Amino acid sequence: MKHSGTVILLVALNALALPPLLAQPVIPQSTLPVIGDRFPLVPCETSGVEPGPDGSMVNWDFRELKRDETFSGEAFFDFIPKEEAAEQEEFPDADYASLNFDGSYAFFRIDGGTVYRIGAVKNQGDTLMSVQIAEEPEIDAWFPAGFGDTRQADFGGRNKVRLNDQPFESDYRGDKEHRVDAYGTLRLPNGTYHNVLRLKAVRVQEDLFNGAPINTTTETGWFWYSPDYKFWLLRIMERSDGSKDVFYAAEARTVGVAGQERALHLQAAPLPAADKLLLQLQTDVVGQWQGTIVTLRGELVQTVEPALLQPGLNRRTLDVGDLAPGAYLLRMQIGGEILSRKIIIQ
């Protein structure tokens, strides 16, 4: 009978259905995306959305996030071989690249447990392209990362801009500070995640022309990561120009589920194209290939109908004569793979 008080206490605790006990989590390198990974995102309305408190054992409740119905096209990040990215010859040291939903590319190099962003390419309309080449790369992520960890480093490099085919160059420099400022439970419209870490990153960039500062921008981002899932689960980004965006993962992908090996080689010619675009795909799979042509903002302009796919070299011709001159993304689906190519229509 002398243990009866302990028994009653245990029964009472079980009846409370307490959530899992949170230990301080650590984000392992296995959460890092690999080539072939694709992460669909849900764009959200930003009004009234705040990142919430920092500290330990935090409960972040974002279940009321509302999809931004004004967002056109898909929201996603694709991690691709650098050879599939625009201007990839500028980044011979890159290990891989990402294609972002706004049509931009980022290039990354991995050194031990640190991921460096070594450059970016962005189309800003049909007549303006900017290529950012890092001479002092910035830290994008590091592993393992735990509560209270910080990283701060300067970065800098060159901006190569083409405006109406006229080249210009300028310099940029800045600093970026990361801090893992909180951990706890994250509640999203599509699920609840325990043992989540939040990373806060503050990035300040100064643009220079002939050595003189001409513009300064600041970005503050909050990213929620779980040791059980790849990539981030939620991102809130605020900028010094007053803009803000909020995205969460449409599908949380469990760590250990890697992207498929790509035995696929897609070519599109001629570029720029006028009326016809020839596609060539070298593959070792049987099935179908189909896809879409979208603007650099993800707006659908043409559908590529399914066609038979055989091992070896496959060819097909697309009629692109109805497309307005400009830059587009060709996205071809081959089985579970999606390959993207930038195309130019004249």
Q: What is the pTM of this model?
A: 0.72
Confidence of residue 258 (pLDDT cuts 50, 70, 90): very low
Which pLDDT belongs to residue 262? 42
Same domain, 60 and 175: yes
Same domain, 274 and 337: yes
| Residue 299 falls inside a structural domain | yes
Which CATH number fits the domain that encloses residue 308?
Answer: 2.60.40.3080
The H or E element that residue 8 is part of is: helix 4-15
Same domain, 165 and 230: yes
Same domain, 241 and 268: no
Q: Please give the residue range of the domain that contains residue 226.
A: 26-249
3-state secondary structure 222-278: EEEECCCECCCCEEEEEECCCCEEEEEECCCCECCCCCCCCCEEEEEECCCECCEEE
Same domain, 36 and 176: yes
Domain closes at, from 195, 223, 249? 249
Same domain, 138 and 81: yes
Provide the domain count of the chain: 2
| Residue 98 falls inside a structural domain | yes
Per-residue model confidence as pLDDT tens digits over 161-178? 888 778 889 999 999 999
Which of 23-27, 92-96, 191-195 has the lowest average pLDDT? 23-27
Question: How high does pLDDT run on average in the chain?
Answer: 85
Domain closes at, from 249, 276, 301? 249
Which pLDDT belongs to residue 257? 46
| Residue 13 falls inside a structural domain | no
Highest mean pLDDT among 46-50, 101-105, 313-317, 327-331: 46-50
Same domain, 104 and 209: yes
Percent pLDDT > 70 in the chain is 86
**What is the spatial distance between Cα 110 and Cα 128, in angstroms, rounded to a whole number?**
30
Domain closes at, from 226, 249, 272? 249
Which of 160-174, 251-265, 283-297 has the lowest average pLDDT? 251-265
Structure tokens at 202: 């503050």
Same domain, 143 and 243: yes
Same domain, 204 and 79: yes
Average pLDDT value for residue range 2-27: 49
| Residue 257 falls inside a structural domain | no
| Residue 3 falls inside a structural domain | no
| Residue 274 falls inside a structural domain | yes
| Residue 11 falls inside a structural domain | no
3-state secondary structure the chain: CCCHHHHHHHHHHHHCCCCCCCCCCEECHHHCCCCCCEEEEEEECCCCCCCCCCEEEEEEECCCCCECCCCCCCCEEEEECHHHCCCHHHCCCCCEEEEECCCCEEEEEEECCEEEEEEEEEECCCCEEEEEEEEEEEEEEECCEECCCEEEEEEEEEEEEEECCEEEEEEEEEEEEEEEEEEEEEEECCEEEEEEEEEEEEEEEEEEECCEEEEEEEEEEEEEECCCECCCCEEEEEECCCCEEEEEECCCCECCCCCCCCCEEEEEECCCECCEEEEEEEECCCEEEEEEEEECCCCEEEEEEEEEECCEEEEEEEECCCCCCEEEEEEEEECCEEEEEEEEEC
Same domain, 135 and 220: yes
Per-residue model confidence as pLDDT tens digits over 197-256? 999 999 999 999 888 999 999 999 999 999 999 999 999 999 999 999 999 999 888 875
Residue 286: phi, psi to the nearest 5? Answer: -110, 140
**What is the spatial distance between Cα 40 and Cα 202, in angstroms, rounded to a whole number?**
25
Same domain, 142 and 291: no
Same domain, 218 and 272: no
| Residue 180 falls inside a structural domain | yes
